[in-house]
Structures are given as C-alpha cells and as structure tokens.
C-alpha cells in the first residue's frame, strides 16, 4: 500500500492485510442512484440549502442549493489556485450535473456525481452495503499488481494505449477529447483491471470511509518493522482529519481514491492506486462519486 515515488501523502510504501470483502464492479451510476431516490425519496445535500447554524458566516450567494462544477479556463493559468476552474453553481446536483439547465440525458450509465460522504453512506445503507476502507479500495484497485505504480503496470500509456478516463492535454484549458467531452464516461468505456473492476482509476474520485491522516502518523506503522502487517488498517479520527490551515472550516475530511477525469500529466498525477486526497465530508463536486463493498459475516 502507498508509494514512495509521487506525493508525500502516499508515503511510506508499506504492507498491510485486509480481510475478505466483495466490491462493486463499477462506481454507482446515475441509473443506480435514481433507483435509490425513487425508492426512498432521498434528497442529496446539494439539493438542500446549507443550514445557517452550521455555516453562520456563509455568503448569501452560497446559501442556496448547489454544488461545485469544473469549468475549463479559456487559456493557460497558474496551477496554484483551483478557484480559477471551480465554480459553485446554484442548482447543480446529481441529476443536474453542470447546472439547473442540464440533465441526465445520455448519462444513465455514467458515475453519479455531486454526492457528499453522507449521500454515499445513505445509498450504501439502502443497498445493504458499506463504503470501503482506504486499504480495501487500494487492494481492489491494484488488481493483483502489488508492485506496480499504475493499475495496469509501470507506465501510464503502455503502447500509447489510454486505459482510464483522465485529462489528456494541458489542464485546465485544453483537452484532447474535444469541447465539452471531457467529463465522465460510461462504465465499460475503458478496460477492467485484473480483478474485473471498472474505473478504479480515473473517471471520478471515490469516497472511502477512512478519516484522512498522513500515513507516517498512523499508529499501525509501529508494526512497520515487525513481521506482522497491520490488519484492516483504518484512518485516524475526525479531529485529526480537520484542515488546520488558515480560514479552513473545522469540518472532518475523508479519503478519496482513484483520481478523476481532471487528473493530468501536468497537474494532479493521481490516476494511480496509491493516490489519495482529503475531501470535506459536506462537499460534493462534479468529479466525485463512490462504489460500495460488502463484507461477509464471519462465522
């Protein structure tokens, strides 16, 4: 698990153990999520205005239902300010993925997006499943290739073959897929991995159920130099996961895995099993989805 070759938050590379589990072959699709909503009447967090008690200083333009949508820039920009390509769009939600005038026409088999951690947990509970731990997710994403940086081997594009939906071109203004064809793709567009799982890499980031903590702070690493690999390691605590940077809201963050269609060679090379990213549990975006796991009852 982990990598020593890319980003600091992935270090150190270490051996862990997970118990048996089943994992969905693909991310939850719009078709799947629509069935859940039809059965339960569930409304996602993006479809409801923020609670003023939780966000007492929220500007009025953000105090409405909506979500964050990626918008290409018109020209090259500095890559140190994501606000240049992210916009809060009132009316954007899982069934209006780019704004109130958009729809799910032609997107039934694409991954659902604009779901928060609570939304994903609600679906998983309805389905009789759970969200995966980070270790479970990464084990599945590797597809049996434990000593490779990519889910398919040692290079990003073996034989110039594109094996996942990531940003091909110069992020965030030029994509080789063409105008407006740079978002999610239908399940099955790209090959499955060694465990016959689709889109473990790229397409959408996926929620896990682990609080975000840097691996080198994880208590299980006390076993790193012993003969015993930590079994079913989990993340830290909600308190440890909170972003302590200036002006950040004190909201817990869970681990996202897998990268998305916005990962690029010139920005965010996180289209790999070891890649990880912290995400506030109250925030969904146009590039975050999820899949579920089922853990057999021991007996």
Kindly report, residue by residue over 146-199, the tens digit of the pLDDT: 889 999 999 999 999 999 999 999 999 999 987 778 999 999 999 999 999 999
Look up tokens 């994903």; give the residue.
120
Q: What count of residues does the chain have?
A: 299
* Domain, as residue range, for 35: 1-299
- Using a 10 angstrom Cβ sphere, with 0-12 exposed, 13-18 middle and 19 or more buried, the burial of residue 84 is middle
Which segments of the chain have a pLDDT < 70?
A: 216-227, 246, 299
pLDDT of 118: 98
Phi, psi at 241, each rounded to 5°: -85, -15
Residue 287's domain is classified under what CATH number?
A: 3.90.1580.10
pLDDT of 223: 45
Question: How many domains does one find in the chain?
Answer: 1
pLDDT of 249: 80
pTM for this structure?
A: 0.94
Return the H-helix or E-strand segment holding 235.
none
Q: Which alpha helices (H) appear in 102-256, and where do they start and end?
A: 117-126, 134-142, 238-241
């Amino acid at each position: 698990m982990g990598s020593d070759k890319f980003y600091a938050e992935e270090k150190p590379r270490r051996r862990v153990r997970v118990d048996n589990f089943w994992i969905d072959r693909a991310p939850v699709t719009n078709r799947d999520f629509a069935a859940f909503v039809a059965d339960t009447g569930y409304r996602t967090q993006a479809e409801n205005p923020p609670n003023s008690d939780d966000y007492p200083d929220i500007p009025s333009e953000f105090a409405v239902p909506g979500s964050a949508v990626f918008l290409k820039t018109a020209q090259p920009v500095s890559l140190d300010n994501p606000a240049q390509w992210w916009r809060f769009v009132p009316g954007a939600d899982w069934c209006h993925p780019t704004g109130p005038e958009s729809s799910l026409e032609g997107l039934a088999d694409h991954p659902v997006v604009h779901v928060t951690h609570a939304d994903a947990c609600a679906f998983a509970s309805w389905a009789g499943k759970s969200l995966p731990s980070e270790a479970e997710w990464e084990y599945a994403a590797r597809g049996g290739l434990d000593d490779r940086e990519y889910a398919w081997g040692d290079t990003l594009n073996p034989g110039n073959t594109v094996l996942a939906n990531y940003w091909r071109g110069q992020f965030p203004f030029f994509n080789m897929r063409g105008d407006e064809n740079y978002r999610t793709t239908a399940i099955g567009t790209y090959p499955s991995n060694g465990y016959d799982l689709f889109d473990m890499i790229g397409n959408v980031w996926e929620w896990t159920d682990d609080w975000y903590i840097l691996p080198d702070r994880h208590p299980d690493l006390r076993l790193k130099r012993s003969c015993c690999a930590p079994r079913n390691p989990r993340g830290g605590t909600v308190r440890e996961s909170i972003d302590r940077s200036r002006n950040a809201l004190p909201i817990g963050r869970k681990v996202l895995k897998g990268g998305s269609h916005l990962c690029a060679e010139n920005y965010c090379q996180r289209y790999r099993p070891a890649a990880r990213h912290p995400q506030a549990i109250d925030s969904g975006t146009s590039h975050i989805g999820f899949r579920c796991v089922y853990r057999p009852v021991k007996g």
